[in-house]
Structure 1
Amino acid sequence: MTATAPPVARTAPADPASRRATIVALTVVAGTVMIPLDVTVVAVALARLSQETGAALPVIQWVSTGYTLALAAVIPAAAWAMGRYGARTVFLGALLLFTVGSVLVACSWDAGSMIAFRVVQGMGGGFVMPAAMTLALHAAPVTERGRVMALLGLPVLVGPVLGPPLGGWVLDNLSWRWLFLINLPIGLVALWLARRNLPTVARADAARLDRRGLVLLAPAMVLLVMGASLAEESLVRAAVVVPVVASLALLALFVRHALRTPTPLLQVGLLSRRLTGGGALVLVLFAGAYFSTLLLVPLYFQVARGESASTAGLLMVPQAVLAGLSIQVAGRLVDRVAPLRVVATGISMAVLGYAGFALLLDATTSYWVLVPFLMLGTTGAGASMLPTMTLATRHLDHDEIPSGTTMINVLNQLATSVTTALVAVLLAAGLTSRLPALDGGVGGLQALTPDARDAAAPAIADAVRAALALPVGMMAAALVVAMLVLWRADRVREPAGR
């Protein structure tokens, strides 16, 4: 496991292909940066949106849920759309739809119109990331894919961390409408850059839509995300169990169908390859764990410690900076040294960081103690997720890249939704057992008076600590899988089209 990889012939920095790949990656980053930021910015604003529209919080929650469901519904069709119309066209169209949707949300006049326009946003957002990954991977030589994916991963990892402070600042100083209007200038610049810099990617020969696959996979995605979003306090409710079971049945039918049809919606058979399938499993475990911590950490700062949304976000800024730096370093290293060294080191750092944070947090622990552990955790996340994604897609042929990138986005969406729901249930159970008088579970925390919150702070911190056991355990499981799958990954050669 300590043997280094044989030297890899690298493209010189001045090589036109390398420069072209960098330009493409930075161009699609300009468009993708809005997507992860938008999710966390809106999450911070739900209480304010409830006040502004006069809608109850469970109703206004659909501003977030409707967006996520629309996102999940369209992702499965991304590979077909890129094969039919080309990745460049899909990226431009999705970016335009997301930008227009943002303006419409800013102009909404009540909760119903806001939710409807958020669905429009989600439909555009679901196509953006698969198309961005496809364009970047097509442009990059195989030996440059780690570096290019590192650039592409900046919005994915850093965006959710920067969203809370940005949303808090906008709410404190501007109208809530600017949460969405800010996407207009960003979107217009991104569209201009994309039209200027993005190459045309050859379309696949088989452009026929696998309607049966879409009818199976799209509802499966929506049902699983819906069931997960309703699992706030219990998993054993009909509203949760029925859609989840139906989703799993549809997913099983889709896999069976995809393995039997010559032109499936997604090439599920790619997951049988050691690096593609194994890397996808590592991503499912680690991404689900990492993004679920973004529910627990801000909640701890705001409720157990009484910080404002802006202050809680500022406490997470050092994590975002280090995550961005570690993505760039690891993305370059994975092209040069044994991949296991990079990924295993990153996951180990994440496990140590979040485990240390969980073990030491209480209602009074100094931030000088807690924040460094979070910084270690996010540094590890940056050093593991994108390198693993690079390995999972490195040996794909050009006509396999749309399916590969779409599957990764599908799996990450499902893993994040399910793990976040499980963490929310664990948190609610912990709060119920420690604070039996609390009404409304996690949502009831927002209704506590300052004095009641201070009195409940030790119990809240204990509940957050207990809920963190799941993501930390999943990260440890991801490390075990990586050790098994990525052993001598530098010597694995999976020729395109195999």
Structure 2
Amino acid sequence: MEQELKSDADFRLLSILVPLLAIIAGVFMVVLDSTAMNVALSTLVKDFHTELNTLQWVVTGYMLAQASVIPLSGWLSDRFGAKTVFLTAVIVFTIGSILCATPSRAEWLIAFRVLQGLGGGCVLPVGMAYVYKLAPKSKVGVVMGIMGIPVLFAPAIGPVLSGWLVEYHSWRWIFLINIPIGIICLLIGSRKLPQSVRSQVPGMDKLGMILGPLAFASLSYGVSQGADSWTSDKTLIGLSVGMLALIAFVIAEFRSETPLLELRILRSIDFSTGILVQWIAQFGLYGALFLLPQFLQQARGFGAFDTGLTMLPQAIASGLMMPIAGILFDRIGVRWLVVCGLSLVSGALFQYSHVDLATQGKDLILPLFMCGAGMGMMVMPMNTHLLNKAPSHLVNRVTSLTNSMQQVINALAVSTLVTILTSRAAARAAEMQEAAAAAGKNAANASPDALKLAAHTVLVKGFDDTFHIMIFVALGGAVLGLLLRRGSRGGKDSSKTKVQPEIMHG
């Protein structure tokens, strides 16, 4: 029986709550596993009697598998239907989780994590496009805001949960907890997710299907290796292969009549401006998301579990702000949400830039709430804005495009921040040595405790300097946010008020 989308006046959030829960469950477990394994690596070194460099591929393999499959997710949704692709991805991810809990050798764990990543890479972009299509345009901000809760909450809760499981139970439970979530997602999704009608895909972009995954996976790998050294063979090979593949991919996509990713949409000034603001905003956000946990663990000596608990106010603030930001997006558009959100993040970064060796968790509660509220205010509204700027029949392809680029930007942000932190800490160490030499002090005569204190002081100063730099990045994003245009008001956009052809019959 045909099922049409309800009009704005008739729409009720409760009417899509159950299918929305299925998508949220799938997205939550995938995003959760993106951060959970970082905590367990030291334990895996002991259990598998393997070097950390080998086990790092448990994280890297997962990331590369996701980066390689994300560009394909839009085409797969158009070709086979979003429901089929989403549920298949959840099945693959859940099977991968079961297998990840079983191995006694590191090589098998890495292989099963790659399988997990291949499934997980499709879940977020397909789920995002699915949710976007479930509601009329005037309500899409609210619905996307609810869907965004697991996107920000899962990375925050991941270290807490995995730290507790590793410390008091077993690292295998990190994967076993996915099984009931995956089953619930599949049971609800198979019954309640509206069946999406397959689009008429005129052909297959075979060259794009090779070059796209190669380009984004190689770039993600290359920039992630830049955290260790930008001149290492791994970094240079990854970046070289990635850039060559990306150039060839762009040329192929513009020439193809049936491109894998619809890059022509970048000719839209509104869309390109939105992408640029999103990249800068992500960079600014990572100054808070990535650097503060590193400060707590490296400079203050917090364990993973205590670090996760300290960061919880940020996750709570994000979760509370997401639905509110969705309502505001439907009323006022994205511009002031981005400006205010990045301003809050800038304020949080300013407070982070004054941390020292005496900083306690309670001292960070206010900036953590500010940062969480800022993220919740802008992350999903920015994604929704980009989808609004795309033609309705390209929504699946746009989520593939934006998520592919986000993978690279996230890796680039982490590597750049590590590079800046290392550089500033080295500069601070040189300043301290010069000051000590001027005062006639010799490091060789210093006590071990004094040397340890000096090393921690230098590291803290390096963190302070890096936080200072990221303030200007976030403020720059806020200024650019003023360029964002709302466009048509909710009910006046013909691309969304009509029943969309990709949706849905049950």
Fold match by TM threshold 0.5: yes
**Residue 381 of structure 1: how far off its partner (Å):** 1.0
Quote the residue 1:40 is aligned against: 35
SS at match of 1:316: helix
Quote the residue 1:143 is aligned against: 138
Q: CA separation in 1, counterparts of 2:239 and 2:312?
A: 35
Quote the residue 1:49 is aligned against: 44
Quote the residue 2:296 is aligned against: 301
CA deviations over 1:432-490 (Å, ceiling 9, x no partner): 44558xxxxxxxxxxxx99975553222211222233454333222212211133x545
Contact 2:334 2:484 in 1 (8 A): no
**Residue 53 of structure 1: how far off its partner (Å):** 0.7
CA deviations over 1:66-108 (Å, ceiling 9, x no partner): 1001110111111111111110000000001011101111101
Q: CA separation in 2, counterparts of 1:43 and 1:196?
A: 35
State which drifts further: 387-396 or 235-244. Answer: 235-244
Q: CA separation in 1, counterparts of 2:163 and 2:73?
A: 33
Quote the residue 1:391 is aligned against: 385
Quick one: which amino acid aligns to residue 324 of structure 1?
A: G
Aligned pairs (5 A) from 1:184-263: 184-206=179-201, 208-263=203-258
Give the counterpart of 1:413 among 391, 407, 412.
Answer: 407
SS at match of 2:482: helix
CA deviations over 1:233-266 (Å, ceiling 9, x no partner): 3323332123213312322332222223221001
**Residue 495 of structure 1: how far off its partner (Å):** 6.0
SS at match of 1:275: helix
Distance 1:382 1:16, change over 3 A: closer
Quote the residue 2:361 is aligned against: 367
**Residue 206 of structure 1: how far off its partner (Å):** 1.2
1:427 aligned onto 2:421 = yes
Q: CA separation in 2, counterparts of 1:489 and 1:340?
A: 11
CA deviations over 1:313-350 (Å, ceiling 9, x no partner): 11111110001111111111110124322221111111
Distance 1:112 1:100, change over 3 A: same
**Residue 32 of structure 1: how far off its partner (Å):** 0.7
Quote the residue 2:126 is aligned against: 131
Distance 1:453 1:42, change over 3 A: farther
Quote the residue 1:272 is aligned against: 267
Give the counterpart of 1:332 among 310, 327, 334.
Answer: 327
Contact 2:142 2:326 in 1 (8 A): yes
Give the counterpart of 1:58 among 43, 53, 61.
Answer: 53
Quote the residue 2:466 is aligned against: 467
**Residue 225 of structure 1: how far off its partner (Å):** 1.2
Q: CA separation in 1, counterparts of 2:191 and 2:335?
A: 38
1:456 aligned onto 2:455 = yes
Distance 1:83 1:319, change over 3 A: same
Give the counterpart of 1:19 among 14, 20, 40.
Answer: 14
Quick one: which amino acid aligns to residue 53 of structure 1?
A: F
Contact 1:354 1:374 in 2 (8 A): no
User: Which structure would you say has the larger Rg?
Assistant: 2
Q: CA separation in 2, counterparts of 1:416 and 1:339?
A: 22
Give the counterpart of 2:153 among 152, 155, 158.
Answer: 158
Contact 1:224 1:414 in 2 (8 A): yes
Q: Alignment length, in residue pairs? A: 473
Quote the residue 1:318 is aligned against: 313
Quote the residue 1:439 is aligned against: none
Distance 1:161 1:52, change over 3 A: same
Quote the residue 1:445 is aligned against: none
Contact 1:99 1:184 in 2 (8 A): yes
Contact 1:98 1:121 in 2 (8 A): yes
Contact 1:356 1:373 in 2 (8 A): yes
Q: CA separation in 1, counterparts of 2:73 and 2:333?
A: 32
What percent identity do the matched residue pairs reach? 32
Give the counterpart of 2:394 among 395, 400, 411.
Answer: 400
Contact 1:350 1:381 in 2 (8 A): yes
Q: CA separation in 2, counterparts of 1:379 and 1:454?
A: 35
**Residue 203 of structure 1: how far off its partner (Å):** 1.5
Quick one: which amino acid aligns to residue 478 of structure 2?
A: L
Contact 1:289 1:470 in 2 (8 A): no
TM-score normalized with structure 2 length: 0.88
CA deviations over 1:368-420 (Å, ceiling 9, x no partner): 33331122012101101111111111243432110111111112111101111
Q: CA separation in 1, counterparts of 2:453 and 2:187?
A: 50
Q: CA separation in 2, counterparts of 1:316 and 1:418?
A: 23
Give the counterpart of 1:97 among 92, 110, 115.
Answer: 92
Q: CA separation in 2, counterparts of 1:451 and 1:59?
A: 35
State which drifts further: 427-436 or 241-250. Answer: 427-436
TM-score normalized with structure 1 length: 0.89
Give the counterpart of 2:352 among 350, 357, 363.
Answer: 357
Q: CA separation in 1, counterparts of 2:262 and 2:340?
A: 31
Give the counterpart of 2:26 among 28, 31, 36.
Answer: 31
Quick one: which amino acid aligns to residue 273 of structure 1?
A: S
Quick one: which amino acid aligns to residue 119 of structure 1?
A: V
Quote the residue 2:481 is aligned against: 482
State which drifts further: 451-460 or 199-208. Answer: 451-460
Q: CA separation in 2, counterparts of 1:452 and 1:27?
A: 54
Structure 1, unpaired ranges of 5+: 1-9, 437-448
**Residue 22 of structure 1: how far off its partner (Å):** 3.6
Quick one: which amino acid aligns to residue 400 of structure 1?
A: L
**Residue 421 of structure 1: how far off its partner (Å):** 1.1
Contact 1:71 1:122 in 2 (8 A): yes
Quote the residue 1:175 is aligned against: 170
Distance 1:247 1:292, change over 3 A: farther
Contact 2:336 2:482 in 1 (8 A): no
Distance 1:338 1:401, change over 3 A: closer
